[in-house]
Copies of this chain bind each other. A is one copy, B any other.
């Protein structure tokens, strides 16, 4: 169903604010943002992209295998990121009371579909 369909499904099912497929350079391929998210999901993911690049570099130095998932929880929101290829990741932004466990599960389950759509 393509990137947007998968993103929409994950966002709706997890009670998320938005989802995005983005390069580590901060450029989005596709996104699905819920109306009235109250948070600037786009700015959020762009800002975090450079942090993720740094995490990816550190993981490379430490030689503990490929980066699979990163989650960053703050008082107001939570971002869950899953690496889908060498250059791209899928990110989901949740409100503080979102279903963290379900969001992680859905993102993990969708990774192969994202990977396929990237080829």
**Residue ranges of A at the interface with B (Cβ–Cβ < 8 Å):** 39, 43-44, 47-48, 50-51, 54-55, 58-59, 61-62, 64-77, 101
Copies of this chain held together in the complex: 2
What residues of B have a CB within 8 angstroms of the CB of A69 in the complex? 71-73
What residues of B have a CB within 8 angstroms of the CB of A73 in the complex? 67-70
How far apart are the CA atoms of A76 and B64 in the complex, in Å? 5
Q: How far is the CB of A52 from chain B (nearest CB, A)?
A: 10
Q: Name which residue of chain B comes closest to A70, CB basis.
A: B72
Report if A75-B71 is in contact (Cβ < 8 Å); known contacts: A47-B62, A51-B51: no
How far apart are the CA atoms of A55 and B74 in the complex, in Å? 11
Report if A55-B72 is in contact (Cβ < 8 Å); known contacts: A44-B62, A62-B47, A64-B44: yes
